[in-house]
Structure 1
């Protein structure tokens, strides 16, 4: 099953490590470091040019990717419960 995270982007739910609210989590130093490292290593994928509301961390074959989404973490969690958002 895939989770639609906005603007024609989808991720395999088996690869999702976590879905995070960007406002509440980026105040922590460790989260800032995670996002900075992902950006520096070019593992950060922006799914929108709008104001980001959440980020999704995935790991597939040992490679971490961080998707930045305009959808709220609550919306993404709801989509997960309902079967992926398609």
Structure 2
């Protein structure tokens, strides 16, 4: 299954390690440190302030789509692999 996470980007659901909402990401010192340490892997998909952080094994995406919406998309069964 693929999930649309912003712009024209779809990623495999099984590649997602974590989806964090913006407030959780900004309020956690550990998450901020993680993002800083991996800033070379961060891809900003949002022209406006991002709404969620999508972490995969090889990249970190700042998505304009809310984490709740991404969760709903990940639970849909009719999307093809």
The RMSD of aligned alpha carbons is 1.3
75-84 or 30-39, which deviates more: 75-84
Residue 68 of structure 1: aligned partner: 62
List runs of 5+ in structure 2 lacking aligned partners: none
Runs of 4+ residues over 6 Å off in structure 1? none
TM-score of the superposition, structure 1-length normalised? 0.83
Alignment coverage as a number of residue pairs:
78
TM-score of the superposition, structure 2-length normalised? 0.87
Task: Verify the 8 A CA contact 2:25 2:53 in the aligned structure 1.
Answer: no
Residue 3 of structure 2: aligned partner: 3
